[in-house]
Amino acid sequence: KMDRTAFHLAAEHGRLEVTEFLIQLGCSHSAKDKEENTALHLAAKNGHLSVLQKIIDVGVELDEKNLEGLTALHVAAEGGHSDCVKLLLEAGADVNAQTQKKMNCLHYAALHGYEEIARILMDAGIHTDAVNHQNASATHIAVLQNFPAMVRLFIDAECDLDIPDNRQQTSLHIAAEHGRQDIAEMILVAGVNLKLTDKQGKTSLDVAARGNHINLADMIIKADRFYKWEKDNLNSDSDSWVAKHLTFKQDHRVETQHIRSVMWRLATKYLKPGEWKKLAHYWKFTDAHIRAIEQQWTGTKSYREHGHRMLLIWLHGVLTAGENPIKGLYEGLVGIGRRDLAESIRKKANADSASPRKCVAM
């Protein structure tokens, strides 16, 4: 049915003695079946290492392609057979061969989460930023398939995270669309261009907000504010304390619990509707940031949640910069004409520091 010869079948089923016997008989080594697979393809696809070695030793063409344009290396990678991948590369197979759909072997490793194979291919010099027929890089595919360890591998290899696919989506757009927080965190810490828009003109922040991925949207705003702060304040020393401890995830640390509770009370009890936005503008939140925050929760009381989110995003920047949040709050409240509230917070903060065990209700 598949037009397979005895040599094809021996390779497919890993029959070493039969393979050797047929080679001695002088059978055709390069015959193709209906899908244009050679015996080399079938041995590689099924992970038959010793048979693969025997066929390689005969001196066959290693980069022969089947109907879909896959080489033996492609099918070995797709099948997760790392030993076969190594063997083919050592024998001189083309690591950068592309299929009809312009997939290289790294695309297949990313598709299935095969980290070991990805490492082998990268060590062999594969083009890490090659794109397929949908203009997707291996990083795009790893994000879409939700393989954080694979994404980490690509980030460490300094793959280009800003490549747009055929929907003009970057890897971060895809993480934002699917709510993949762990992957978004890695990408944001690595540093990307947050201004890039997809075919609909949406930034990754717009996509996260539209999908109601609240924590992820907040992470992107924190990152955007941090990048601006970093540009203005830090040298390019990536080993700085800030870079080592950088995170954009929600803060659940015990040491920030008190100041976070101050933020909660401020947002839910003391700020009037519209005042959180004045504060946000005072602290240089952009209109896009404010829009993204406002997109979640509607209704007459929603300003409390919006204000709370904004305050926690602001707090992240202040703590990352090593500044005093109470001082920053005081200045912000005075800046929007709420000196009464500013004084009240300062008094409470002073009282708290005098008696650290006391639980204060503002």
> Which pLDDT value is given to residue 362?
38
CA atoms of 251 and 318, how far apart (whole Å): 13
User: Which of 298, 291, 302 is CA-nearest to residue 206?
Assistant: 291
> What is the pLDDT averaged over residues 92-101?
99
Q: At what angle do helices 181-190 and 148-156 cross, to 10 degrees?
A: 10
- The string of pLDDT tens digits covering residues 158-173 is 999 999 999 999 999 9
Please check whether the domain covering 254-354 is classified as CATH 1.10.533.10. yes
As to burial, measured by CB atoms within 10 angstroms (0-12 exposed, 13-18 middle, 19+ buried), residue 20 is middle
Query: Which distant-in-sequence residues (6+ apart) come within 8 Å of 271 by Cβ?
Result: 279, 303, 304, 307, 341
**Cα 104 versus chain centre, distance:** 20
Q: Which of 13-22, 51-60, 80-89, 346-355 has the lowest mean pLDDT?
A: 346-355
**3-class secondary structure, 44:** helix
> Which pLDDT value is given to residue 348?
81
User: Which of 294, 293, 280 is CA-nearest to residue 333?
Assistant: 280
> Which pLDDT value is given to residue 347?
86
**Cα 359 versus chain centre, distance:** 40
Element containing residue 360 per DSSP (H, E): none
- The string of pLDDT tens digits covering residues 185-236 is 999 999 999 999 999 999 999 999 999 999 999 999 999 999 999 888 866 5
Give the pLDDT band (50/70/90) at residue 299: confident
Q: What is the model's pTM?
A: 0.91
CA atoms of 179 and 313, how far apart (whole Å): 18
> Which pLDDT value is given to residue 360?
42
Cα distances from 261 to residues 3, 83, 273, 315, in angstroms, run: 72, 55, 20, 12
Residues shown for the chain: 362
> Which pLDDT value is given to residue 292?
97
> Which pLDDT value is given to residue 243?
65
Q: Give the phi and the psi of residue 106 in degrees, each rounded to 5.
A: -70, -35
Residue given tokens 């929603």 in the structure block: 302
> Which pLDDT value is given to residue 357?
47
- Exposed e or buried b per residue across 136-161, where buried means at least 16 C-beta atoms within 10 angstroms of its C-beta: bbbbbbbbbeebbebbbbbbeeebeb
CA atoms of 38 and 75, how far apart (whole Å): 12
CA atoms of 45 and 69, how far apart (whole Å): 14
User: Which of 348, 322, 319 is CA-nearest to residue 333?
Assistant: 348
Domain layout of the chain by residue ranges: 1-94, 254-354
CA atoms of 274 and 281, how far apart (whole Å): 11
CA atoms of 87 and 56, how far apart (whole Å): 9
Give the pLDDT band (50/70/90) at residue 353: low
Characterise 72 by phi-psi region: left (phi > 0), alpha (psi -120 to 50), beta (else): alpha
- Exposed e or buried b per residue across 277-304, where buried means at least 16 C-beta atoms within 10 angstroms of its C-beta: bbbbeebebeebbbebbbbbeeeeeebb
CA atoms of 292 and 279, how far apart (whole Å): 16
What average pLDDT does the chain have?
94
CATH C-level class of 1-94: mainly alpha
